[in-house]
Amino acid sequence: MRKLFFLLPNIDSCRAVVTELENAGVPERHLHVVASLEQSLGDLPEAGVLQKTEILHGLEWGLGLGAVAGFLGGLLIVKFPPTAHGLGNGTLVIAAVLGALFGALVSALMSSHEHNHSLDKYEQAIENGEILLLVDLPRSQVETTKRMVLEHHPEAEFGVRKPGR
């Protein structure tokens, strides 16, 4: 999936693009609108926590780092058991899974309060009253969608973000 960014001058323009995309088969759950707090979006699909924060990025990092830390902790427990009985290799798996879950939880909680850095370059425009429309699409539909929107709405500014940041 790719995330397309369309910066639009006002709500009416954004509503027209959203309607056009929905008519072209883009599901509403793939459309996310970001506007200033003063603007009412009405029936437009507002961007949620997943789009406005770094929570997904935090989950990814926490999952990976937690799994590594859990595995290393499990390795220490297996190598130096706290009891006279030896512990099996299942301990490593359990420790890695528990570490991954704990790391994902902690990192997601911490990053849920951090704004999405992909939106930084649009921050001033949004504060000035412009509307940012985020569209999640498969790679194969990016060019067609971009061409369609820009052809019918030359006032839109286009951007794209590749997966992984």
**Could you read off the pLDDT of 108-160 as tens digits, one per residue?**
888 887 888 888 888 899 899 999 999 999 999 989 999 999 999 999 989 86
What is the rounded CA–CA span in Å between residue 22 and residue 16?
Answer: 10
User: Which structural domain range is residue 89 located in?
Assistant: 55-111
What is the rounded CA–CA span in Å between residue 12 and residue 33?
Answer: 12
Co-location of 83 and 99 in the same domain: yes
CATH of the domain at 126: 3.30.70
Q: Burial of 130 by CB count in 10 Å (0-12 exposed, 13-18 middle, 19+ buried)?
A: buried
What is the rounded CA–CA span in Å between residue 122 and residue 57?
Answer: 20
Co-location of 23 and 40 in the same domain: yes
The two most distant CA atoms of the chain are separated, in Å, by 74
Co-location of 60 and 105 in the same domain: yes
Co-location of 48 and 59 in the same domain: no
What is the rounded CA–CA span in Å between residue 61 and residue 107?
Answer: 7
What is the rounded CA–CA span in Å between residue 47 and residue 34?
Answer: 6
pTM of the model: 0.74
- Choose one of 90, 111, 132: the last residue of a domain: 111
Co-location of 99 and 136 in the same domain: no
